[in-house]
Chain A
Amino acid sequence: MEIFQHILNALQFGSFYALIALGYTLVYGVLRLINFAHGDIFMVGAYIAYFVAVALLGMDTGMSPGLALAITVPVTMVLTALVGVTLERTMYRPLRRKGADRLYVVITALMAGLILENGNLALLGASRKRFPDLLEKSIWTFGSVSVTNLKVIVIVAAIAVFLLLQFIVTRTKIGMAMRGISYDKFAIPLMGIPLDTIIVFTFILGSGMAGLAGILFAMSYPILEPYMGALIGWKAFIAAVVGGIGDIRGAIVGGFLLGFIEIGVVAVFPSTLRDLFAFSILLVILWLKPTGLFGVAKTTKI
């Protein structure tokens, strides 16, 4: 029965990775840009959720935690999306307009991530923040397997977000435009499609999901610190690449795969070996299948 417990844990971890990986993959799919700041946007999301929740609970309205949660989620998602869009407007778009090489945008993203991390550290100090309890914890037990409501919410949220994004990208007009941009960025404006609007929309989607992941993560592990986004962000990025970056299914599969590998390693070996095994396995997958599980090799013309 222990195995079911591990599977549940793996699903929960995988959900976080998947939610963040979705943001990486969306931006990459449209812009061919590795948005290295994404892990830190997730961190900012968690902090925004913290401040919103503390502000709501701190007011003398006697607001119940449940209502506070219902307000915190959309507010955090909107504000985090705003952070993502600000990055795109102030840093990525000017470079794109100049027709700069992709590499310079990647470096800018990397640096933007550093600014978010260290700016946070400098502004708020190194003391860790304790996230308030917004959800009354209830434990459901089936036989010998016990599951908290939060765990179920996390897993359901990841799957719901995946279905939503899959629907947007494959079934709607704006999703078609997104796929069009990734196919040919130069022909798309000629078809009367507003390039910048679509890109901003992509950033809104990706960063909003990072904000959602931030809230859920802060609720599951209620200690916030400025570098929390770095490691989980890099790992989610690796998950996105293993799944085949640019493909939404890839992000979700890669995220859950990483979750299962990590929990599997921890279940058998000492937990300090987790990163070593996880990264070695991912490296072997990439070596055998260089474009990731769902990725399609691009044919290059000479």
Chain B
Amino acid sequence: MQKHSFTIAMIASMAVLTALAQFGFINQYIQSVIMLMGVNIILSASLNLVNGYMGEFSCGHGGFMCVGAYASSVMTVLLFSKNQILGAPLLPESMALFAFPLALAVGAAVASVAGLIVAVPSFKTRGDYLAIITLAANYMVISAIDNLEIIGGPRGFMGMNATVNAMNSVVNIPWMLIWVILGTIFSVWILRRFVSSTLGKGVPAICQDEIAAEIMSVDTNRMKLIAFMLSSGLAGLAGGLFAHILGYVNPHSFDIMKSTEVMVMVYLGGMGSLSGATLSAVLFTLLLEVLRPLEIWKWVVIPLLLILLMQFRPEGLMGNKELSDLFPKLRKYYSFK
């Protein structure tokens, strides 16, 4: 029983949160902060796989998020809302509940295919040069979407609210909150399973020494392919959720600024620590909200904080340790491998 207390606590808190939102105890603003927190957790945890565990310097995570956001949005708009170009809804509203996770999955799949733009050059390229490729990939994605008039181009794309409304018309509970929480748990769970699996051990091996890893029979190209595709796929999932939370996407909200934000979260939390990435995503989202009254000075204060962090605690909040390494007693409460 004790072993499962973490899982039980998680399910219970999810139920409590949903109930609070359902009966109006937490307002729309707090709900949206919680949902953004979830999206940020997925982003920072997934980038941590590449930047933290694998030791590469990917600075184009926003691009994959953009791909996922657009792919899943196009899916849901195609299926459930009236659009001048994409036509009348294809499915009745009652199907929304089943089709929405499918659309998210499609977004994630398309994003992970887009991850190939970075994964394939990474076979030959490392370090600073790979960083440029990720940067260029980010620009390419945004520029490509800017030029696709059919999905709005630079004006952005909207109509996702119809799907959310359709889900609400089936059962009226805060669906987006539930999907975000489920998506977050799924992402952290799958990353945790991956990096602690025998296969996933190859990723930190590449970080420490690629040639040595190769000698030790790690198929480095395959590992890189998996890591980049998993990471960008989860970013796509986060993008899909983000698009449906806001109900509107614009290619320029996923530019290099967004990628920098995600990178900040990874390095704030500590490279190679999933609990660090989660913790820092939560803290960072809160920090953004707390500093909101500062307006534009917010973006002076946050970089300054990070510079100070780099000077005095460069390894981030958690270093490469997990929460359970710091507090071994926590291990009694969950049954991960």
A287, B307: Cβ atoms under 8 Å? no
Question: Complex formed: what's the CA distance from A17 to B22 in Å?
Answer: 55
Whether B256 is near chain A, meaning CB under 8 Å from some CB there, is yes
Total interface residues in chain B, CB < 8 Å: 43
Q: If the complex has contacts A119-B300, A230-B256, A272-B147, are A107 and B125 also in contact, measured as CB distance less than 8 A?
A: no
Question: Complex formed: what's the CA distance from A280 to B136 in Å?
Answer: 8
Chain A residues within an 8 Å CB radius of B217: none
Question: Complex formed: what's the CA distance from A3 to B146 in Å?
Answer: 28
Question: Complex formed: what's the CA distance from A241 to B297 in Å?
Answer: 32
B143, A275: Cβ atoms under 8 Å? yes
Question: Complex formed: what's the CA distance from A259 to B336 in Å?
Answer: 54
Contacting residues of chain A (234-252) with chain B, CB-CB under 8 angstroms: 234, 237-238, 241, 245
Q: Which residue of B lies closest to A100 (CB)?
A: B314
Question: Complex formed: what's the CA distance from A273 to B140 in Å?
Answer: 10
B300, A100: Cβ atoms under 8 Å? no
Whether B124 is near chain A, meaning CB under 8 Å from some CB there, is yes
Whether B144 is near chain A, meaning CB under 8 Å from some CB there, is yes
A108, B140: Cβ atoms under 8 Å? no
B117, A95: Cβ atoms under 8 Å? no
Chain A residues within an 8 Å CB radius of B267: 104, 107
B299, A238: Cβ atoms under 8 Å? no
**Partner pick for A287 among B125, B144, B146, CB 8 A cutoff:** B125
Chain B residues within an 8 Å CB radius of A195: none
Taking the closest CB of chain B, its distance from the CB of A44, in whole angstroms, is 14
Whether B260 is near chain A, meaning CB under 8 Å from some CB there, is yes
Complex interface: stretch among B2-10, B127-135, B228-236? B127-135
Complex interface: stretch among A52-60, A110-118, A164-172, A178-186? A110-118
**Partner pick for A279 among B124, B143, B302, CB 8 A cutoff:** B143
Question: Complex formed: what's the CA distance from A234 to B11 in Å?
Answer: 44
A95, B303: Cβ atoms under 8 Å? no
Question: Complex formed: what's the CA distance from A282 to B129 in Å?
Answer: 11
B300, A238: Cβ atoms under 8 Å? no
A286, B125: Cβ atoms under 8 Å? yes
Contacting residues of chain B (252-271) with chain A, CB-CB under 8 angstroms: 256, 260, 263-264, 267
**Partner pick for A114 among B57, B260, B295, B314, CB 8 A cutoff:** B260
B147, A107: Cβ atoms under 8 Å? no
**Partner pick for A245 among B128, B299, B307, CB 8 A cutoff:** B128
- Nearest 8 CB-CB pairs, A to B? A111-B303, A118-B299, A276-B143, A275-B143, A290-B125, A114-B303, A279-B136, A104-B314
User: A residues near B, CB below 8 A?
Assistant: 28, 34, 91, 94-95, 98, 100-101, 103-108, 110-112, 114-115, 117-119, 121-122, 230, 234, 237-238, 241, 245, 270, 272-276, 279-280, 282-283, 286-287, 290-292, 300, 302
Q: A104-B310, A115-B300, A287-B121 are in contact. List 18 more A-B contacts (CB 8 A).
A: A28-B128, A91-B307, A100-B310, A104-B314, A106-B57, A107-B263, A108-B307, A108-B310, A110-B260, A111-B303, A111-B310, A112-B307, A118-B303, A119-B300, A238-B132, A287-B120, A287-B133, A302-B212
Can you give 28 contacting A-B residue pairs, CB < 8 Å?
Answer: A34-B131, A91-B307, A100-B310, A100-B314, A107-B263, A108-B310, A108-B311, A111-B264, A111-B306, A114-B299, A115-B300, A118-B297, A118-B299, A118-B303, A237-B132, A241-B128, A241-B129, A241-B132, A270-B147, A272-B147, A275-B142, A280-B136, A286-B129, A287-B121, A287-B125, A290-B126, A291-B129, A302-B212
